[in-house]
């Protein structure tokens, strides 16, 4: 009942395209929360969250992201900044990214969207991303364009940033391996059981 009300409110408050993406994302998040992660996954997910914070602290106060879309076509150029946020929501929140968020504590109520035109990711608005850092995919923190890289270099922080980005990538890759092994087992388990049952019934 509550999920049905949530979906209705999203449809009433949002453009149709964003509403559809949000409803789908919420459903995928709930499915992941029910998926039964391995014991290692929550710890790895929290490590990714902590590393996102470390990367973000080095990017505090940057100016490059405020006007990077000038002159570009829709959806990229619809808002002043956030060219990297103009992608499709489902692509940015792929299954591994969403799982890492879910097992680090993200819940549907944390996925707050703007009430503006829909131009790219469902969480991209006139003033940037409406999600708190902890609830953004790691790829959103990891993406550093050449313009931003040059700005960080002028601040003397590029080496530090590269080191922290490398650590973020290592943690994300480890999470993907562990989750991939678990999902493979979950997919194969019914087949293995069916084969075992068939052998017993010979």
Across the strands, what pairs with 125? 128
- As a whole number, the mean pLDDT across the chain is 94
Please tell me the predicted confidence (pLDDT) of residue 177: 98
Element (H, E) at 24: helix 16-33
Please give the tally of structural domains in the chain.
Answer: 1
Cβ neighbors of 118 (< 8 A, separation 6 or more) are: 14, 15, 17, 18, 75
Q: CA distances (Å), 49 to each of 53, 59, 92, in order?
A: 7, 16, 16
Tokens of 30: 């709930």
First-last CA distance in the chain: 47
The parts of the chain modelled with pLDDT lower than 50 are none
Q: Collapsing DSSP states into helix, strand and coil, what is residue 129?
A: strand
pTM score above 0.85:
yes
Please tell me the predicted confidence (pLDDT) of residue 3: 87
Range of the domain at 70: 2-200
Please tell me the predicted confidence (pLDDT) of residue 1: 62
Please tell me the predicted confidence (pLDDT) of residue 194: 74
- Supply the DSSP symbol for 188: H
Please tell me the predicted confidence (pLDDT) of residue 190: 78
pLDDT digits (tens, 9 = 90+) for 149-196: 999 999 999 999 999 999 999 999 999 999 999 999 998 877 777 787
Element (H, E) at 21: helix 16-33
Q: Rounded CA gap, 6 and 3, in Å?
A: 5
Question: Cα 140–179–185 angle (5° rounding)?
Answer: 155
Please tell me the predicted confidence (pLDDT) of residue 76: 94
């Amino acid at each position: 009942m509550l999920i049905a009300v949530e979906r209705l409110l999203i449809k009433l408050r949002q453009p149709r395209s964003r509403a559809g993406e949000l409803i789908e994302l919420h459903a995928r998040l709930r499915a992941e929360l029910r998926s039964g992660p391995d014991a290692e996954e929550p710890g790895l997910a929290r490590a990714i969250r902590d590393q996102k914070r470390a990367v973000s602290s080095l990017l505090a106060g940057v100016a490059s992201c405020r006007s990077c879309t000038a002159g570009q076509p829709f959806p990229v150029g619809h808002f002043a900044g956030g060219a990297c946020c103009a992608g499709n929501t489902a692509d940015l929140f792929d299954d591994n990214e969403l799982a890492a968020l879910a097992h680090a504590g993200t819940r549907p109520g944390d996925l707050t969207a703007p009430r503006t035109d829909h131009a790219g990711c469902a969480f991209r608005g006139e003033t940037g991303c409406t999600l708190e850092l902890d609830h953004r995919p790691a790829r959103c923190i990891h993406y550093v364009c050449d313009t931003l890289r040059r700005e960080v270099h002028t601040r003397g922080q590029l080496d530090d940033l590269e080191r922290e980005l490398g650590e973020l990538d290592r943690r994300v890759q480890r999470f993907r391996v562990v989750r991939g092994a678990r999902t493979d087992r979950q997919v194969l388990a019914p087949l293995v059981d069916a084969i075992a049952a068939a052998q017993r019934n010979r």
